[in-house]
């Protein structure tokens, strides 16, 4: 399992939202590329970047900032937020992004997702965000009646790098990661799963390591790093000890 620090970009700045609410955001830096360099220096093997306004609006809004981050660091980036067409996918990959994250389209255009996976095998990540156990889309503003396992099953064998599972109600709250739901999804599909939402301390890292085996390939953490509740170096060291 790898520990993946998160950078959420809004209006060109590094912020964190509470439960995906744009009205409850905290700015942590005006220079996201500097934050990415800090995570790289502390040993990050991959960095998670979301264009928050892109997620809400359905089109990239912070592409220049993401390009700056891609030029600044050497570690692989996984980028999401408003990626709804092949042109945008190709543009991000061309600027040096390693993995492109698709979310809303997983429910709205399965054929497109399959085509993107075929064009870029191993470089596409599916983001499944859930509220009360059901998928939410459009930057978490719309709820559905479909479960993460139901949606994930439609994309097995298509060449995904991974599936990110986020419990929206825990995201940014430091209330503890939803280990059980993450484990159940990881056991239900053959695609590696990345846990996200609510990581608060090293205890969450321990719980994921104990529950996931090799099926939970990574964990994304954001607010806990920015508040100092969790140090990236400590989380990486804990994972290394488990191995």
Residue with tokens 């809400």: 56
Cα-based distances in Å from 137 to 21, 42, 153: 13, 33, 17
Contact 182, 193 (CB under 8 A): yes
Report, as residue numbers or ranges, the catalytic residues. 8, 129
Maximum alpha-carbon separation in the chain: 42
Quick check: 191 and 160 in contact, CB under 8 A?
A: yes
């Amino acid at each position: 399992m790898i520990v993946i620090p998160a950078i959420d970009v809004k209006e060109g700045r590094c912020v964190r939202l509470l439960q995906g609410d744009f009205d409850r955001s905290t700015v942590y830096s005006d220079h996201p590329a500097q934050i990415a360099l800090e995570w790289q220096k502390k040993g990050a093997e991959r960095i998670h970047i979301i264009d928050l306004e892109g997620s809400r609006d359905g089109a990239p809004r912070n592409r220049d900032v993401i390009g700056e981050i891609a030029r600044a660091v050497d570690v692989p980036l996984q980028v999401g937020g408003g990626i709804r067409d092949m042109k945008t996918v190709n543009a991000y990959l061309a600027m040096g992004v390693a993995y492109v994250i698709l979310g809303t389209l997983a429910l709205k255009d399965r054929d497109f997702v399959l085509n993107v996976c075929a064009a870029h095998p191993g470089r596409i990540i599916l983001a499944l965000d859930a509220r009360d156990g059901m998928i939410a889309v459009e930057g978490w503003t719309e709820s559905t009646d479909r479960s993460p396992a139901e949606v994930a099953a439609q994309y097995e064998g298509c060449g995904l790098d991974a599936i990110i599972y986020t419990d929206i109600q825990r995201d940014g709250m430091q209330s503890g990661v939803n280990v059980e739901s993450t484990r159940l999804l990881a056991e239900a599909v053959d695609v590696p799963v990345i846990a996200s939402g609510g990581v608060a301390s090293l205890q969450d890292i321990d719980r994921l390591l104990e529950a996931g085996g090799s099926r939970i390939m990574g964990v994304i953490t954001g607010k806990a790093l920015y508040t100092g509740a969790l140090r990236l170096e400590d989380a990486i060291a804990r994972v290394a000890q488990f191995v």
